Amino acid sequence: MKSSLKFKIGLILVIGSIPFFLAIPVVPFLKLGSGVKITASTVLLIIGEIMFWVGGLLLGKELITKYKSYFNPKNWKKQ
């Protein structure tokens, strides 16, 4: 594995995107107006996606493909 600054920043971005995705299902249960809930969910999704893909670009295609296969339910019984 590379231990360069580019790799570390990419890994932090990919891991840092997870809380944004996990927060999306929580938003409907908050005591907020409907418009605020929609906006918050959209913003969380966009921030999470941007962080994930920028981190993925920094990490490289091979590493993202490798870890993406770990999260695919079709591959869970193969490992």
43-55 per-position pLDDT tens digit: 999 999 999 989 9
- In the chain, domain spans: 5-75
* ∠ CA 53-58-17, rounded to 5°: 40
**Which of helix, strand or coil describes residue 24?**
helix
19-69 per-position pLDDT tens digit: 999 999 999 999 999 999 999 999 999 999 999 989 988 888 777 677 777
- The Cα 58–Cα 3 span in angstroms is 12
pLDDT reported for residue 78? 62
| 33 close to 20: Cβ distance less than 8 angstroms | no
State CA 30 to chain mean position distance. Answer: 22
* CA 53, 46, 16, 24 torsion-angle sign: negative
